[in-house]
Amino acid sequence: MRTLLVDNYDSFTYNLFHYLAEVNGREPEVVRNDDPDWKIAQLDAFDNVVVSPGPGTPRRASDFGICTELVHRSHLPLLGICLGHQGIGHVHGATVDRAPEPRHGRTSPVLHDGTGLFAGLPSPLEVVRYHSLTVTGLPDALEATAWTPDGILMGLRHRTRPQWGVQFHPESICSQHGMQLLANFARLTRAHQAAQGTARRSPARRP
């Protein structure tokens, strides 16, 4: 499975890189969010997309770069993490605003619906949070999938497109079951490909 990993200039991107390499059996391809040579047609070379954490806000073009177009136009399964999660919310009409209390490097229990990204994971799930913004006011197209005990949104999915987001950092060493969450994303990708008849053939091995 080939993943496009969009780097929003975040120190956690290469944690994600190594997790995805292990889950997929091959390294993801990394593109920076301001790569002037990126074209949306290049998505045809990939099976799915991961939009990394990063500083700033998805409301600011210089912070989110090519990710806005990817969320708008990608036909591939897409996972947004932290800033990426906020970007999915923003692009589809949710509100992204200041969190009641900033959380940076703090663990937190997260409750979830046990489906999709969270299939087979315990609830509550102990995760690490690094964010001062939060997504609220979900439109009809988006559905909450995870939240803190005090009601802060921690996960969402699009109802009709293969897009999922998590506010926390599954790639942090202190987050429980982060590798399994990414494996669930790979499983969701394969299910989407099977439904669409678009499963990518592995290149033939040379003798």
Which amino acids are annotated catalytic? Answer: 82, 169, 171
According to DSSP, residue 38 is labeled: -
Measured over the CA atoms of residue 12, residue 80, residue 89 and residue 75, the dihedral's sign is positive
Alpha carbons 186 and 182: distance in angstroms, whole number? 6
User: What is the radius of gyration, based on Cα positions, of the chain?
Assistant: 16
Alpha carbons 23 and 183: distance in angstroms, whole number? 6
Record the tokens describing residue 47, joined without a space: 């099976």
By the 10 Å C-beta count (0-12 exposed, 13-18 middle, 19+ buried), 169 is classed as buried
